[in-house]
Chains A and B, each alone.
Chain A
Amino acid sequence: MTKSSILIIISFFAFITFYSSTFILSEGHQAIVTEFGRPVGAPITNAGLHFKKPFIQDIRLVDKRILSWDGFPNQIPTKDKKYIKVDTTARWRIIDVLKFIQTVQNEKGAKTRLDTILDGHTRDVISSHNLVEAVRNSNEILNTIEDQKEEIKKQKEKGLFILEDEISVDVEKIIEGREKLSQMIVNKADKELQELGIKLIDVQLRRISYEESVEKKVYERMISERKRIAQKIRSIGKGETAEIEGRLTRDLQKIESEAYRTAESVRGQADGKAAAIYAKALKINPGFYDFIRSMEAYKKSIKGKKYILTNDSEFLKFLK
């Protein structure tokens, strides 16, 4: 064996040993060192170059990142017997590598356990609350409705016509709400998951929908409610129209009759005034007035006509 060959072989073995005594932990991962399968030391969570005993020690890696869990949509009845489909997701992370590897070994194993635990607690929480607690998060909607009612009242007082949109379902006050329900699921599952080295960050009620047969009924309710609103709008409209038409007739009559009354009164007053003027003047010498007036009458009536008169007619008094 040449010196160089021995050198090559020695450097080769040195290299392998060096290689086996280091490992690189990438970002987003955490690891535990095992010696002949037995875990040794604390979990390694910092990324970078680390050292271990060559050959006899090995590394088991798990994810350090936030992982997602997606539950299969469940059909769950609520406390008020509404059948809904609840689709949940959750974020979780491995906080105790050792426990995790010992209990579920890997993410696949974890998923199975998460399915059971989270499904169970979701079912518990949902079925012990009314539907509205899972749909709404706050009582903000009650304020909205109150504001709407106020608006409508104000507009009515001003005399403006408003078409109301009615809320058919009695909107009740909620105590918990969506977020609190999610938190309940997390709290319930926390202890069990701690045993698995898992920390649940949150559970999201991603989708809540009606189960098919219930959906149909809800749609029927929505349709009949809309029909009722349409009906109400029509009848309010008819009422308003009738009122306007009535007002038209009434105002018209009022205007016409008042005008007639005023006109007649004016005429009457004038007639009276004229009569008074005549009376006052003519009372001075009624005989003379009689004479003058008759002269006028003769002038006007006798002109240019064929007349046969007797000589003792009153009309010809002054011709005698």
Chain B
Amino acid sequence: MQNRPPENYEWLKTKEYFKKNSKTVISIIFLFVLGIGSLSSFYTVEPDEEAVVIRLGKYQKTNPPGLHFKIPFGIDNVIKVKTKIVHQAEFGFRTSSSTERRTTYSSKNFDTESLMLTGDLNVAEVQWVVQFQISDPFKFIFQTSEPITNIRDISESIMRRVVGDKTVTEVLTTGRVEIATQSRELMQGVLDHYDMGISIKTVKLQDVNPPRTVQDSFNEVNSAKQEQEKMINQAEEAYNKVIPEAKGKAKKLISEANGYAEAKVNRALGDTSRFLAIYEEYNKAPNITKKRIYLETMEELFGSMEDTTILDAKVKGLLPVFGKLQGAN
């Protein structure tokens, strides 16, 4: 007869229990595994994603958004990739915050990224962005080991190639759009050559400046141009003010002369026609007419005279006392 239970009492009890209920225990375990299996055998792909399905290491397919099934227990491995997002890679500058109302930029110097040589062996500082999307998620993950690094390297290399064929003036002013377009095309070409599953949406030039040290002298050229335009405009303005005025005066002078001419000629015509009219009258009766005219003139004359003295020509030595004599009385 035993006084205390044996040490392995609990273990024996469990073994007993399992032996008795082996069927139920096994079925419970089976159901448990089945449960886990079914839970992990479906997944959802969000609207901005695509899912790459790898079965036993090998690529199966790429699934679009929605509900999908996979073989559980590690047989199927699903990698979800956001394919709708447009990523932005920045070159020559970095956005440090775009959460506040105004975007702020890092004040660090990114000269090594931004300084590049132009075709005329000058130096320019070029900042740009590249916007891209993942067009084939499988290729994006499995074609290259460092896809983002590749995009950045190629972007820098191509930009320098395109800028290297332009003059510094083109880079700073007139060629910006062409540079962006050419770069986009060439970058896409190289990435397609690597078959990376990346689609470059746009390349945009941001700030493009001459290097800091040289900036002042570039500004000097601009202000010289502006000064120049101003001086020339002022000269033209002065011309446009004076010349029309002078032309106006000239016209006036000539029309005054014309006026004078017409008046003179008309007066001559008037005088002569009057004379001819009188002469015609005179001719009809010369003596009478002459006398008449003479008398008319005298009448008018004497009628208006205040004080006339006619002296004999033979008188000599006349004292000018007329007025005084009369007044002295």
Chain A residues in the interface with B (C-beta under 8 A): 24-28, 46-49, 63, 65-68, 70, 89, 91, 131-132, 135-138, 140-141, 144-145, 161, 163, 165, 167-169, 171, 178-179, 201-202, 204-210, 215, 218-219, 222-223, 226-227, 229-231, 233-234, 236-238, 240-241, 244-245, 247-248, 251-252, 255-256, 258-260, 262-264, 266-267, 269-271, 273-275, 277-278, 280-282, 284-285, 288-289, 291-292, 295, 298-299, 302-312, 316, 318-319
Contact = CB atoms under 8 A, between A and B. Distances in A.
A165 B122 CA distance: 14
B261 interface: yes
B164 A263 contact: no
14 contacts: A24-B56, A137-B161, A140-B165, A141-B120, A206-B156, A209-B115, A219-B123, A223-B217, A277-B272, A281-B271, A299-B297, A304-B304, A306-B307, A307-B305
Size bracket, chain B contacts: 35 or more
Interface in B263-314: 264-265, 267-269, 271-273, 275-276, 278-279, 282, 290, 293-294, 297-298, 300-301, 304-313
A177 to B, nearest CB: 9
A306 B256 CA distance: 39
A303 B144 contact: no
Nearest to A50: B57
A252 B249 CA distance: 11
B156 A207 contact: yes
Nearest to A278: B268
B239 A248 contact: yes
A264 B254 CA distance: 9
A241 B231 contact: yes
Contact of B153 (A46, A89, A165, A288): A89
A241 B232 contact: yes
Given A215-B123, A222-B214, A277-B265, A259 B144 contact: no
Contacts of B123: 210, 215, 218-219, 222
A309 B119 contact: no
A27 B143 CA distance: 9
A256 B214 contact: no
A191 to B, nearest CB: 22
Nearest to A203: B157
A48 B164 contact: no
A63 B279 CA distance: 134
Contacts of B28: none
B145 interface: yes
Interface of B: 54, 56-59, 112, 115-123, 138, 141-146, 149-150, 153-154, 156-157, 160-161, 164-167, 169-170, 190, 193-194, 210-211, 213-214, 216-218, 220-221, 224-225, 227-229, 231-232, 234-236, 238-239, 242-243, 246-247, 249-251, 253-254, 256-258, 260-262, 264-265, 267-269, 271-273, 275-276, 278-279, 282, 290, 293-294, 297-298, 300-301, 304-313
Contacts of B153: 68, 70, 89, 204, 206
Given A67-B145, A289-B275, A234 B224 contact: yes
Nearest to B236: A244
